[in-house]
Amino acid sequence: MPSYPWKPGDELDAVPLNAAIGAAQSTANTALTTAQAAQAAATAAKPLSATLSFPGQLTAGTYLFTGTAPYNFTIASLDASAGTNGGTITATVRNAGVGVAGLSGITITSSAKANFPATSGAVLAGATVDVVITLTGAPVGAFLVLNGVH
């Protein structure tokens, strides 16, 4: 039968044990908080953009922003300028062939950068994002920047 350093009826001092448990809980809580912060940083939205720049005269057509999207992301807005030389650009950003709400049939006339917010734009990995451009006139130096978050 094992031998114990106390006998029935002795009062045991629980303070050292409680202190040890408290210290272990504190260390575990700190580790959990650190892990949660690292996870939050890893999953926080990261901005991304894709730029189409036309240093020469822009021509009507369909232009790719992404080949095949490597991951899911959300389209937030489009920054655009018609460049110089006058003209009007009509642009429709498409996600997997479907116009993105807020970015369909937008008219770009200014040489100053303008921002057009998307009202929805969830892109799935594997999808293609492009823009269909029609125009009047002969804009030179136009650009389009698709903004999003991953």
Structure tokens at 94: 């498409």
Q: CA 40 → CA 36, 45, 72, 111, 148, distances in Å? A: 6, 10, 18, 40, 19
Q: What is the pLDDT of residue 21?
A: 63
Domain ranges for the chain: 13-44, 47-149
| pLDDT digits 0-9 by tens, 70-92 | 999 999 999 999 999 888 999 99
Q: Beta strands of 1-149 (E only): which ranges?
A: 47-57, 61-66, 73-81, 88-95, 98-99, 106-108, 114-117, 122-123, 129-136, 140-149
| CATH code of the domain occupying 47-149 | 2.60.120
Q: How confident is residue 46, by pLDDT bands cut at 50, 70 and 90?
A: confident
